[in-house]
Copies of this chain bind each other. A is one copy, B any other.
Amino acid sequence: MLNRVILIGRLTRDPELRYTPAGVAVTQFTLAVDRPFTNSQSREREADFINIVTWRQLAETCANYLRKGRLTAVEGRIQVRNYDNNEGKKVYVTEIVADNVRFLESSNSGGNREEGAGSSNANASYGGGGGGNRNGGSREQQDPFIDDGKPIDISDDDLPF
């Protein structure tokens, strides 16, 4: 009924941009979010590694401007997908479907940047073009990301927008 998440952390690697068969852009990345306390045994500060998914225009902006190590703010909703793995067992995947991403470090201010040309310090815009950006999402029965690289069996109808 209400589902809102706000995170600030750093990308663990460069974002991955893909396209559904219907041509919809999807970008995934993982945010390392430091915990507010240190582990009582190791005395070390740990992090949670949280998977982020973005769709459409926002996906392309993220793919263009985010890089490993960059400090980033993400706003979105928690989504729990499930799919059947190769042993026929249900696997649950929790991820944040982002509808707002803020680049807190430009390409020349932080993070490690092995990229050739420095990218601009642009910010992700709210939503995309003419459509709502609140309802990005993916489907239930199958993990669109598990079949790495090959075209995936998703029609436009599967996407809730």
A positions within 8 Å CB-CB of B: 1-9, 33-41, 46, 48-50, 71, 73, 75, 77-80, 94, 100, 102, 104, 109-110, 123, 125-127, 130, 132-135, 137, 140, 157-161
Chain B residues contacting A78 (CB-CB under 8 Å) are 5, 7, 33, 48, 50, 78
Q: Shortest Cβ distance from A37 into chain B, in angstroms?
A: 4
- Is A75 in contact with B40, judged by CB distance below 8 angstroms? no
Q: Looking at chain A's contact residues, is the secondary structure mostly helix, strand, loop, or mixed?
A: strand
Distance, CA A115 to CA B135, complexed state (A): 34
- Determine whether the beta carbon of B46 is less than 8 Å from that of A140: yes
Closest to A50 in B: B78
